[in-house]
Amino acid sequence: MSITRAQPEPDGTPSTEESVLKGMRLLIVDDLAFNVALMRGLLRKAGYTNIRSTRDALSVPELCESFEPDLVLLDFHMPGASAIDVLRSIDHLVRGRDRLPVLIVTSDPTPERRHESLSAGARDFVNKPIDEIDLMLRVRTHLLTRYLQREAEHRGDVLDEAVRARTVELEQARLESLTILASVTEYHDDDTHRHTRRVGATAALLARGLGLPEPFVAGMRAAAPLHDIGKVGIPNEILLKPGPLSDEERAAMMQHVAIGPKMLAAACSPILRLAAEIAGTHHERWDGTGYLRGLAGEEIPMSGRVTAVADVFDALTHARPYKEAWDRGQALAEIASQAWRQFDPRVVDALLGLDFDELDAITS
C-alpha cells in the first residue's frame, strides 16, 4: 500500500490514505451510555465506520483480542476497574510490537493523573467535556501515526525479502557460473558434461545414507560438482593427452587439487567453502598415500571422503575415450576392495547400500 497525502482525488473521492484511516478500528470504553453515544456520533460524523464500544472495563482484554482495535478511547473513571487497571491488562498490546495507542478520556487532567496514565502506557489525552475538533485531531493524528508505522514496517519487510531473494539469486548465479566452468574440464572426455552433476547427486545420496544432516546433504549436492574445478589451471596438452602421462605430467595434473582451493579461497558462501574443501581433499586416501597433503583416515574431511567414492564410482561406470564403462557390479566390487586403503569403509558401505534406482532417476 503506497502512502498518499490526505487530499481528495480529482473526482472528489477520498485519497487512499484517508480511506484507510476512516476504516481503521476504534474501540470506545466508557461506563456512561451518554459519553459512548456522544463519541460514537462524532466519530461517525467524521466518517469513521468501524467502531465498537463497551461499558464494561473488564471486557477490554477480550475485545482487544477479538476486535483488534487500532485505537482505544478509554475513560479514566469506571466502576470495577480504572483506566490504569485496563492499561495493565493489555500491557502486552500497548508496550509490545503492536504499540496499540490508547487515549485517556478524563475530566481530571492534572499533572499527576497524566503522569500516572503515561507511565501505564497511555499515548494521549482527550479532556471532558469533549471538544469535537480536539477529539478528531487527536484520533486522526494517532491513527495516521499507526498507519505510517505499518507502512514503514511493510516496506521494510518487502525490502528485506527483496534483499534475501537477490542474495539467493546472486549466490545461485555464482554457483552456476563455477559449475559451468568446472564442466569445461570434462568436455575432453565427457562431452555431455554430466559427470560433475552425477558426482553431486551420488555424493548427496551417500551423505544421506551415512545419516549426515540434511543441510550437509544439500551442500554436497551443490558443492561436489566443483571437485575438479582446479583442472581449469592445468595446460590442455596435459588434460587432453590421449595416452599415459609422464611422471612430470602426472605431477602437474595433481596440482589441480591445489589450484581449486586457491580459486575458491575468497568465497564467503558456505557452499563454496565446502567446494574448496572438496577440491583440495578428494584425492586423499584413507591409508595416507593420496595427494597432495597425505592426509589419512579421519584427518580427511568427510566431504572429501564422500566425493572420492562418488567420483571414482562414476568414472568407472561411464565410458571415456580411453576406457569402456564397467558394469555396476564390477565397479562396486573394485571400490569394495579399496575399503580401508583408498576409501573410508563407511562410505563404501553407504555406496553398497545405495538405492541405484533412485540414483538413476536423479541422473538420467
Over the stretch 300-333, which tens digit does the pLDDT of each residue have?
999 999 999 999 999 999 987 667 899 999 999 9
Q: Are 232 and 260 in contact (CB under 8 A)?
A: no
- For 30, the 3-state DSSP assignment is coil
* pTM for the predicted model, two decimal places: 0.57
- For 72, the 3-state DSSP assignment is strand
Q: Are 30 and 75 in contact (CB under 8 A)?
A: yes
pLDDT digits (tens, 9 = 90+) for 131-174: 999 999 999 999 998 888 888 877 877 777 878 887 778 777 77
In eight-state DSSP terms, residue 228 is T
pLDDT attached to residue 187? 61
pLDDT at 279 exceeding the cut of 90: yes
Domain with CATH 3.40.50.2300 in the chain: 16-158
Q: Are 281 and 347 in contact (CB under 8 A)?
A: no
**Structural fold of domain 185-363:** Hypothetical protein af1432 (1.10.3210)
In eight-state DSSP terms, residue 301 is -
pLDDT attached to residue 110? 85
pLDDT attached to residue 168? 78
Min mean pLDDT across 13-17, 37-41, 187-191, 299-303 is at: 187-191
Residue 165 phi/psi, 5-degree rounding, is -65, -40
Which residues, 6+ apart, have CB-to-CB distance to 124 below 8 Å?
Answer: 101, 103, 104, 138, 141, 142
Domain with CATH 1.10.3210.10 in the chain: 185-363
Which residues, 6+ apart, have CB-to-CB distance to 303 below 8 Å?
Answer: 219, 220, 223, 224, 274, 277, 278, 281
Averaged pLDDT, 181-197: 66
| Cα distances (angstroms) measured from residue 292 to each of 35, 235, 257 | 86, 19, 7
Strand 51-54 and strand 26-29: the pairing is parallel
Nearest to 223 by CA among 263, 277, 170, 268: 277
Residue 101 phi/psi, 5-degree rounding, is -80, 135
**Structural fold of domain 16-158:** Rossmann fold (3.40.50)
Q: Are 320 and 189 in contact (CB under 8 A)?
A: yes
Grid look-up 573410508 returns: 344
Tell me the pLDDT band of 1, cut-offs 50, 70 and 90: very low
Q: How far is CA 110 from the centre of its chain?
A: 51
